[in-house]
Amino acid sequence: FGGKGNVLNFNVGEGVKFALPNVFWTRLQAKYGTTFYVRDNGIDLSITNAIEAIVSCLRSEEQYCVNVPDEGQSMKSLGM
C-alpha cells in the first residue's frame, strides 16, 4: 500500500455487478480505502469493514445497494 492512493481495489464479476453496481464499489473505496481511513483505523479494519458492507448488501432484502451501509459490528466496535 505504501500510503499512496486507495488500499481497496476490486475486480467484480458480471454476476455481482447486477446486485452491486459500479457506483457502489466507487463509494466503498471512497469510504474505507482512503489513506486517511487506513491511517486512523488500520488496513485490517479497512478490509473488514469493506467486506462487512458487501455482505450486508448482498444479504439485504433488496439484494441491491448503491450506497455503502454504515459500519456494522466490526472488530473495532467489539474493542479489538
Cell of 53: 458492507
Q: Where are the beta strands (DSSP E) in the chain?
A: none
Return the ∠ at Cα 56 (arms to 48 and 70), rounded to 5°: 70
Closest CA to 50 of 65, 64, 33, 67: 33
Write down the pTM of the prediction: 0.79
- pLDDT, tens digit, 9 for 90 and up, residues 54-68: 999 989 888 788 999
- d(CA 14, CA 18) in angstroms, rounded, equals 7
2 — pLDDT class (breaks 50, 70, 90):
low
- pLDDT, tens digit, 9 for 90 and up, residues 31-44: 999 999 999 999 99
